[in-house]
Amino acid sequence: MGYLSIDKKKITSKTFVELKQAGEKITMLTAYDYTTAGIIDAAGIDGILVGDSASNVMAGNETTLPISIDQMIYHARAVARACKHCLVVCDMPFGSYQVSREEGVRNAVRMMKETGVDALKMEGGIEIADTIRGIIDAGIPVMGHLGLTPQSVHKFGGYGLRAKEEAEAEKLLNDARTLDAVGCFAITLEKVPAKLAEEVTKSVSCATIGIGAGSGTDGQILVYADALGMTQGFKPKFLRHFADVNKCMTDGVQEYIHTVKACSFPNIDESY
């Protein structure tokens, strides 16, 4: 018996809800470029997020705040072009949906038109519910994002665990119910206690995708460069390395340098 996700030709936002209902875990990673997205898609992932973490991973910024709509469109278009099977979700960047519902809907429509992705993701709860409703009404599937929402890092004062206290946990649960009620097909839960993430998962009909939220969510997401061991010196408790790509690339680059310096690349067979 195959996995429901692998049996399907093209994964849609509806598939995510079906996977939840079938009790099959949903797998997601981020990607920001054509080559990496092609590898991840061909490996059989359910969803790729073109995260605004591109600001950190691709551009070396401290936060996700500086990345622009144009830059997100550039990354998302490349990823969408590579993916044949998985659902492609793109983050709406900071400032593109917080000002007004009208501006949020206009930017969301532009991002869908110019990228070819399948869905958009936005950070926040009840305060952006009306904008999310407008975007869904325009025919665009939306993934919410609660808990540690990196676009609000300056408000939180860092990247620590969220919703430890009862009041914040209660707000998060209400926010999740609101996002579910307005029609989000999924909600990312980032860096929240496992027990709370499990409670949210049982309280909503949409799929929950956790990062640092324990094993009780409907699926998991990681930043690909972290999961595959490319980033150095970043090893929060929730992260596991599934490969050592940093070592693999370093070895390959050093072998290339050594071979060129030793005049053994290119050889006769590699020359015209």
Numbered residues of the known binding site for Mg(2+): 52, 91, 123
Q: Which of 190, 198, 255, 270 is catalytic?
A: 190
Give residues 77-96 in contact with ligand KIV (rule: CB under 6 A). Answer: 91
For ligand KIV, the closer CB: 3 or 159: 159
Among 15, 30, 178, 217, binds ligand KIV (CB under 6 A): 30
Q: Which residues are annotated as a binding site?
A: 52-53, 91, 121, 123
Site membership for ligand KIV, residue 211 (CB under 6 A): yes
Backbone phi and psi for residue 128, each to the nearest 5 degrees, phi listed first = -120, 10
Q: Count residues near ligand KIV (CB under 6 A).
A: 11
CB of 54 to ligand KIV, least distance (A): 7
Site membership for ligand KIV, residue 188 (CB under 6 A): yes
Site membership for ligand KIV, residue 51 (CB under 6 A): yes
Cis peptide bond N-terminal to 266, omega within 30: yes
For ligand KIV, the closer CB: 218 or 254: 218
For ligand KIV, the closer CB: 2 or 158: 158
For ligand KIV, the closer CB: 15 or 149: 149
Among 41, 52, 180, 226, binds ligand KIV (CB under 6 A): 52
Active site residue 166: no
Site membership for ligand KIV, residue 231 (CB under 6 A): no
Binding residues (CB under 6 A) for ligand KIV: these are: 30, 49, 51-53, 91, 188, 190, 211, 221, 223
Catalytic residue annotation: 190
